[in-house]
Amino acid sequence: MSKSDPYDVIRLFPDLIPQESRSSQDQERLPKLQDRELENGLLALIEFLTESIEQLLSIIDTTLLKCYLQTNDALVAPLLRLNHCHLEETEKTLRRHHKYSELIILYQTKGLHLKALELLEKQADQPESSLRGFHRTIQYLQHLGKEHMDLILKFAGWVLEQNPEEGLKIFTEDIQEVEHLPRPRILDYLLRQHKLLVIPYLEHVVNVWNDSNPIFHNALVHQYREKVQQLSATPSDDNEGSSLREKLLAFLETSSNYTPETVLVLFPYDCMFEERAIILGKLGRHEQALSVYVSVLGDVPKAMEYCDKVSVPAPIKTEPDLETALALLEQHANKINPVKALSALPDKVPLVCIKHFLETSLQKELNNRRKSQVLKGLLYAEHLQVQEMRLSYESQAVVMTEFNVCPVCKKRFSNQRFVNFYNYGVVPASANARYSPSGLDCLPQGYEPSEVSCELSVSTTEAKTECICALPQWGHCALFVSRQENFVACEAVFLHIPPEFSLVTLQTV
């Protein structure tokens, strides 16, 4: 700590001292600081006082620590959490008094996590130590956070070796710091160092934390598969193997986050057929899945259950199992193609055995035919309505002469294109607006044309030129007409216009 008395330094700034403590001699003796010099002086004073306070607090707290150790050591831990004690002096004092729990608090508040964890590991085997065991280490590691992942993995090893079940809580406890740890890195660590804990960790990640990352779902499938193969290859508890395989089958059925094409290639071809059938079903290869159920496993009820689940026709076995095939035909008659089924059945099958199947199939075909006939009639009725609308629109016409006047601009029409608005009148269109409705010279207020165009049928005679829109049923539209000698050009565009306007035919004479 600096030898200068803080009060003597503060007296160099008389304006900062209380009025009753000011000395007239100091005010006359000291120079008057202004502007930049005053600002620099105040900044230096702030730095000096801050350092002095920290040093003073360190001395006070360290002294208090020594006093508490001799009078009331229960107050040592709360004092250490204030983090003002002198590190080296406090460390020596606590070691001398064998206060290792308090020393852990000191290291933790000072950020010396490596020292704290080394002390915890060393004291874990001391019979008389307050830090004996692994629980304090687990708690310490759980609250470190992902920023200290290297330390967590370094000191988690000895805990996992002593008590794997409790040690796994370092990575699975439901606290915020643990949930935010990098899970792929933990999985990699467990795969390399503690393989027996991989399945419990993945089950917690998938089932408790509901992590949908395919990495963990694929890894859990692989771990289940490897464990099942190991248990089946070595004489062990059959109950454990059966239980683990049930877990695998249930997970393959329920999980939608693993990658079927990735996990399928690692399954053996000489066993675990039911698992392979489930994965094939996930890939949409239903025929192969059914083939496994029927041909390999010989489990027809399982195949029927699969068919009900995915809504595909059940497989029909050949003559050696004719009874089962006929039962399938009767139960799923409305799902099986009758032509393919009859072609697959042997000729010696009595007709009475497939009576129900034939009746159901014929009834289904009749129902489909009736639906098609009704639909055909409805479509024909709609066609007649459209034709009636077309004839109605074609019967309307507008005759244009040189005496017609635009109702918008009040000008006579010349050899130009124009547009007719039903119940409004005919207005001219710009000669350069062949496919752009925004080219109207006189567009009535409130009309917003779009950029959609359609083809028109055009007929010409010596007396007149008539333009007929071939698509009136598409909505309200208007015609653009160009009047030139021996030439007619027509376009139609859809306009956002009120429904009371409708299409009419334009005639030029």
If we measure between CA atoms, which residue out of 115, 68, 113 comes closest to residue 91?
115
Q: Are 373 and 345 within 8 A, CB to CB?
A: no
pLDDT of 196 > 90? The answer is: yes
pLDDT of 91 > 60? The answer is: yes
Q: Are 137 and 124 within 8 A, CB to CB?
A: yes
Q: Are 419 and 477 within 8 A, CB to CB?
A: no
Bigger pLDDT: 443 vs 53? 53
- % of the chain exceeding 70 in pLDDT: 71
- What is the pLDDT at residue 8? 65
- What is the pLDDT at residue 62? 83
pLDDT of 98 > 60? The answer is: yes
pLDDT confidence band for 236 (50 / 70 / 90):
low
d(CA 371, CA 380): 14
What's the count of helices (H) and strands (E) in the chain, helices before strands? 23, 9
Q: Are 503 and 477 within 8 A, CB to CB?
A: yes
Question: In DSSP terms, which residues pair with 496 in a beta bridge?
Answer: 448
pLDDT of 361 > 80? The answer is: yes
- What is the pLDDT at residue 83? 72
Which residues are within 8 A (CB) of 496 and not within 5 positions of it... i.e. 6 or more apart? 447, 448, 449, 450
Angle at 302 between CA 296 and CA 304, to 5 degrees: 110
By three-state DSSP, how is residue 268 classified? coil
pLDDT of 9 > 70? The answer is: no
Q: What average pLDDT does range 286-292 have in this prediction?
A: 89
pLDDT of 184 > 90? The answer is: yes
* Whole-number CA gyration radius for the chain: 46
pLDDT of 133 > 80? The answer is: yes
pLDDT of 72 > 60? The answer is: yes
pLDDT of 469 > 50? The answer is: no
Which residues are within 8 A (CB) of 334 and not within 5 positions of it... i.e. 6 or more apart? 360, 361, 364
pLDDT in tens, 101-110: 999 999 999 8
User: Which token pair is 79?
Assistant: 């004092």
Bigger pLDDT: 393 vs 423? 393
Q: What average pLDDT does range 153-166 have in this prediction?
A: 95
Mean residue pLDDT of the chain comes to: 76
d(CA 410, CA 104): 97
Write the secondary structure of 103-156 as one string of H (helix), E (strand) and C (coil).
HHHHHHHHCCHHHHHHHHHHHCCCCCCCCCCCHHHHHHHHCCCHHHHHHHHHHH
- Tell how strand 465-468 and strand 457-460 pair up: antiparallel
d(CA 366, CA 287): 29
Whose tokens are 């709360």? That residue is 78
Residue 80, number of CB atoms within 10 A of its CB: 25
If we measure between CA atoms, which residue out of 193, 104, 201 comes closest to residue 156?
193
Q: What average pLDDT does range 301-322 have in this prediction?
A: 66
pLDDT of 27 > 80? The answer is: no
pTM: 0.55
Q: What is the DSSP string of 311-371?
A: T-PPP---GGGHHHHHHHHHHTTTTS-HHHHHHHS-TTS-GGGGHHHHHHHHHHHHHHHHH
102, burial (CB in 10 Å: exposed 0-12, middle 13-18, buried 19+): buried
pLDDT in tens, 446-468: 444 433 333 333 333 333 333 33
For 38, the enclosing helix (H) or strand (E) is helix 35-71
pLDDT of 435 > 60? The answer is: no
pLDDT confidence band for 333 (50 / 70 / 90):
confident
pLDDT in tens, 252-278: 999 999 999 999 999 998 889 999 999
